[in-house]
Amino acid sequence: MNNSDLADQLAAAHGLTKADARKYVDGVLAAIVDAAARGEEVSLNGFGKFKAKNSPEREGRNPATGAAMTIAASNKLTFAPAKAVKDKLNG
């Protein structure tokens, strides 16, 4: 499923135009990314939590040559599903 598929389902379920539904989907995703970039945790009740996690610089190896290299520090967006989501996924 991609953004367009999600927007199509939202439009069908709520009587919206596909263009309006796509704007809502894009707006929600942008709000999550903006909040995470500010260091805030985004908690969606019954769905899960999104938050930014810092991954420090570390040593690694180039898989093609085997040479040692430094992997730069970065921030990653993590997701922890809510119990209801875990239960639905696991039957």
Q: What is the CATH number of the domain that holds 53?
A: 4.10.520.10
pTM above 0.85, yes or no: no
Domain that holds residue 79: 3-89
> If you ran DSSP here, which 8-state letter would residue 69 be given?
E
Do you know the residue count of the chain?
Answer: 91
Average pLDDT, the chain: 95
The stretch 5-24 carries a mean pLDDT of 95
The stretch 14-21 carries a mean pLDDT of 95
pLDDT-derived band at 91 (thresholds 50, 70, 90) equals: confident
Cα distance between residue 30 and residue 77, in whole Å:
13
pLDDT at 41 over 90: yes
Q: Are 58 and 35 in contact (CB under 8 A)?
A: no
Domain count within the chain: 1
